[in-house]
Chain A
Amino acid sequence: GENVEQHPSTLSVQEGDSAVIKCTYSDSASNYFPWYKQELGKRPQLIIDIRSNVGEKKDQRIAVTLNKTAKHFSLHITETQPEDSAVYFCGQDTGRRALTFGSGTRLQVQP
Chain B
Amino acid sequence: GAGVSQSPSNKVTEKGKDVELRCDPISGHTALYWYRQRLGQGLEFLIYFQGNSAPDKSGLPSDRFSAERTGESVSTLTIQRTQQEDSAVYLCASSPGLAGSTDTQYFGPGTRLTVL
Contact = CB atoms under 8 A, between A and B. Distances in A.
B48 interface: yes
B43 interface: yes
Interface of B, helix, strand, loop or mixed by DSSP: strand
Interface residues of B, number: 24
B50 interface: yes
A89 B45 CA distance: 14
Nearest to B107: A43
A61 interface: no
B42 A97 contact: no
A98 B48 contact: yes
A49 B105 CA distance: 11
Interface residues of A, number: 25
B102 A44 contact: no
Interface of B: 31, 33, 35, 41-45, 48, 50, 56, 58-59, 91, 95, 101-102, 104-110
